[in-house]
Amino acid sequence: MPAVTYAGHSVAVNEEGFLVDPAQWTEDMAPQIAKSAGIDELTARHWQVIRFMRAEYQAKGTGPTVRVLGKTSGVSIKELYQLFPKGPAKTAARIAGIPKPRGCI
């Protein structure tokens, strides 16, 4: 499993770049993960989504899908795509250090 250094800490990531252990994540890693996902600056709106993803993961054991994010995060799906153009649920989960949200079956 590859290891990456974020904010001076070496963390294990899977082949898609998601942290293997969400407990290793700290907020100061987020800007660097975001850059690697093509997002140069994290605004307050980005942070609203990232913190929401973290909280949902801690409560439910899985991150929300885009549709659920649009309904519950206070950020509309349109804006979510402006904030995270390459797929909000996937990108925000990666920046938030949680596993890729389970697509439904």
Catalytic residue numbers? 104
Cβ 77 to other proteins, closest distance in Å? Answer: 6
What would the two tokens of residue 42 be?
Answer: 């994290």
Say if CB 37 and CB 75 are below 8 A apart.
no
- Contact flag: residue 78 with other proteins (CB under 8 A): yes
Is residue 12 a contact residue for other proteins (CB under 8 A)? Answer: no
Give the integer Cα–Cα distance in Å for 46 and 61: 21
Residues numbered 85 to 104 that lie near other proteins (CB under 8 A) are 85-87, 102-104
Question: Binding segment for other proteins among 3-11, 24-32, 37-45, 72-80 (CB under 8 A)?
Answer: 72-80
Q: Is 22 exposed, middle or buried (0-12, 13-18, 19+ CB in 10 A)?
A: middle
User: Which residue ranges make up the site for other proteins (CB under 8 A)?
Assistant: 65-68, 71-72, 77-78, 80-81, 85-87, 102-105
